[in-house]
Structure 1
Amino acid sequence: MTRIAVVTGGTRGIGEAISLKLKEKGRHVIANYGGNDEAARAFSARTGIDVRKWDVGDHQACLDACAEIEGQFGPIDILVNNAGITRDATIMKMTFEQWDEVIRIDLTGCFNMAKACFPNMRTRSWGRIVNVGSVNGQGGQIGQVNYAAAKSGIHGFTKSLAMEGARFGVTANAIAPGYIATEMLSTIPDNVMEKIVAQIPVGRLGQPEEIARGVEFLTSDNASFITGSTLSINGGQHMY
């Protein structure tokens, strides 16, 4: 049986690696994206993965998109809440709009998508939900009170969702990536990047594929006894 997997923010960076890994493992992947049509078209042409555009921060849009996917392909078995944005500023300079936009996409987006997928997973007694948090949601970071709050919220959201799904065969876990070599880090000046890498015990940035392998395991049949957990993939940067 081919599992249907939806990956939000699934056409670039960590999301792209997750989409490709799940496809490699035989899943039928639908990759969501929010805004970059050109990049999404190029990704789909290169990989053969179906792409769908909707705003994960829009509750009704998530319900409608998932209903359309299930009507076309069948029940959604796997949900990876990977979509996320940053709007960095110290709290002295951060606007409410910067706060609200990050919370809306990074945290409320997880609720919206789980709300769309969880009921049918529960009815079928099988489901895998993986929410992508962050090392900065575990340890905090200057200039990221919005992002750190959203990602920290993901960890509590995951534990509570896991409790609700456990006896119905639906697992919910989180992955907390450290600093990963993606486009999101490309604007960081070299001198700042050197300081970041110096704080990582393994001495390098992570690769998107390393996050994808964690997601692939947590969404497999072999992970049925793992729920409510956070897998930290950060090179030892933050341990607890």
Structure 2
Amino acid sequence: MDLGLTKQVAVITGPAKGMGAAVTRAFAAEGCRLVLIGRDVAAIEPVAQEVRAAGGEAIIVPCDITDGKACNAAVVEAKAAFGGRIDILVNVAGGSGPIGKTGWETSEEEFDEIVDLNMRGCFNTMRACMPTMIEQRAGKIVNVGGTFGMRGRAGRMAYSASKWGLRGITKSFALEAGPYGININCVAPGMVDGPRFRGKVVPEMASRLGISEEAAVEKHAADYALKRVSTDEDVANACLFLASDVSRQITGVDLPVDGGWAML
């Protein structure tokens, strides 16, 4: 399906691996001109080379998204490279914070670090892109949140708080930006099949329950209505949908990509 994204300028944060790399490939396949931003340029380069090898356009802009001035400078560089436009922003970059700690065991430093990355980072990039989108009277912003920002989770208080906060940022920005023709939404992945799931979550469950790793995968999937674990590509496709005019009348929503867990 042609989503009408050819030649649109898409800024993607956290594009080096996992969901970020899948989002990058998906937007490249739709013909977007990509601005890939992050701190680790060397880690991003293989993904950018893959896009270019397939005939796509991609530049890398070094940027620490927790630094507002760096985000402003990244947008200036992006506009200089691609004709002065910013059509799409996809905020994938984020962290997981402390795992297995209660709220009272979580340190101030741990709390501040994950809130700074997951909330302030998205705020900074959105704030940097908004003047251009307002001037254009058009734009799409997709923030990647998480289902623990829709349901509380023991042992993940700091992460859950940061993703709940991101939902509030998304909804308030959506109300403020709507009159300018700008759509702002949030995609909320559940557990995603990948290195962390296979290398950490599954072995821990298998060890704790005394079952095989394959049985642990099946047990995990059994929690979902669709009885399967999401993939990076599932998340990327949801981002594409919300970044295109197919979803032109949707703004301020939280779209769970979790096989039916958070909302059921």
Q: CA RMSD in A?
A: 1.7
Aligned match for 1:149, one of 161, 165, 173: 161
Give the structure 1 partner of residue 24 of structure 2. 19
Give yes or no for the alignment of 1:69 onto 2:78.
Answer: yes
Give the structure 2 partner of residue 103 of structure 1. 115
Give the structure 2 partner of residue 47 of structure 1. 51
Aligned residue pairs, count: 239
Deviation at 1:191, TM superposition (A): 4.6
Give the structure 2 partner of residue 227 of structure 1. 251
Deviation at 1:237, TM superposition (A): 1.1
Give the structure 2 partner of residue 134 of structure 1. 146
**Cα offsets for 1:3-29 (capped at 9, x unmatched):** 100111112111111111111111101
Equivalent AA in structure 1 for residue 119 of structure 2:
L
Alignment of 1:85-234 (within 5 A): 85-89=95-99, 90=101, 91-185=103-197, 186-192=199-205, 194=216, 196-234=220-258
Aligned match for 2:94, one of 81, 84, 88: 84
Alpha-carbon contact 1:11-1:32 (below 8 Å) kept:
no
Deviation at 1:189, TM superposition (A): 4.2
Equivalent AA in structure 1 for residue 7 of structure 2:
T
**Alignment gaps of 5+ in structure 2:** 1-5, 53-57, 207-215
Q: Which protein has the larger Cα radius of gyration, Structure 1 or Structure 2?
A: 2
**Cα offsets for 1:80-127 (capped at 9, x unmatched):** 111111122412332222111111111111110011001110111110
Structure 2 CA distance for aligned equivalents of residues 196 and 8 of structure 1? 29
Percent sequence identity over aligned pairs = 32
TM (norm. structure 2) is 0.85
**Cα offsets for 1:12-64 (capped at 9, x unmatched):** 111111111111111101222233x4432222223324332211111111111
Structure 1 CA distance for aligned equivalents of residues 231 and 95 of structure 2? 19
TM (norm. structure 1) is 0.93
Q: Which moved more, 1:158-167 or 1:46-55?
A: 46-55
Q: Which moved more, 1:193-202 or 1:60-69?
A: 193-202
Structure 1 CA distance for aligned equivalents of residues 220 and 61 of structure 2? 34
**Alignment gaps of 5+ in structure 1:** none
